[in-house]
Amino acid sequence: MDFRERVMELKQDKGILIAAHRGTSGGNILTNTIPAFDNAIRHKADIMEIDAAMSTDGVFYAFHDGAEAESLGFTTNIRKLDSSFIDRLHMINPYKALTTERINRLEDVFEHLRGRCLINIDRSFFYWKEILTFIKKMDMESYVVIKCGPNPELLKILEDMSPNLAYMPMLRDPDEAECIKNYKINYCMAELLFEDENAPIVSDEFIKKLKDEGILIWGNTLSIHDWFNICAGKDDYHAITEGPDHTWGWFVEKGFDIIQTDWPMLLREYLDKVL
């Protein structure tokens, strides 16, 4: 069974799928760690969104580069460190306390999650060839969807190296999707990013066009901070503080197939009521 078959089987069973943003964290359960991924599965997530960072000696870790200050207590980008240094690090929790948790190697994460959920790999466009080789080496192509902007150079590499690997472009404008059709790749999902609910990228016409082409629609309801806007303010924060109907409900009515959230169980409870 390939990735497309797996995701369609899940969708047939659940209607709308839930992606957990970096797992589900809180307290000493830290983002992008195996405990966070286990927690997200317990919170009814179907897909695990995981950030990939590569060390200077070519080892992949589940970590969002740029988050070093809050997660590790220093500002050097993890991509400038070697694995012997990274493996010795301890992570910091949201209360600024040092923990026993270490940064997980992506190899260990893949083995831990194999067959338990689907996986979306983010932030791998810095080392596109290396991550494609890694996913194939780990025999995870049927569980993983990889994403990047519709960059012709990256799409050509994907076509040459891993045409069967599921691909999801990050789109802000409908015209960006056209170039993807020039490549023989497994284009099966599209992540739509928008700051205005009337933006062309989330028009009924464009969403219908994608669905008619067999493309699943991925939306984000993340509220990382007050200035982070990729869903016109229809985010997790407002779903919790003001109610889910005008936030998560908007994605349901628009026809999104997958919603990425930091609160998978709350979203699943809502979806179970309205679907």
CA 152 to chain centre: 21
Tens digit of pLDDT for each residue in 106-157? 999 999 999 999 999 999 999 999 999 999 999 999 999 999 999 999 999 9
Q: Answer yes or no: is pLDDT of 25 > 90.
A: yes
Q: pLDDT tens-digit profile of 183-241?
A: 999 999 999 999 999 999 999 999 999 999 999 999 999 999 888 899 999 999 999 99
pLDDT of residue 227: 86
Domain ranges of the chain: 3-53+120-274
Q: Which CATH superfamily is domain 3-53+120-274 in?
A: Phosphatidylinositol (PI) phosphodiesterase (3.20.20.190)
Whether the model pTM is above 0.95: yes
- Count CA atoms closer than 13 A to 180's CA, side-chain side: 25
pLDDT of residue 226: 85
CB 184 within 8 A of CB 159: yes
Per residue in 33-51, pLDDT (tens digit) is: 999 999 999 999 999 999 9
Strands 60-62 and 47-54: antiparallel
pLDDT score recorded for residue 225: 87
**Whole-number Cα distances in Å, 50 to 120, 138, 243:** 6, 16, 28
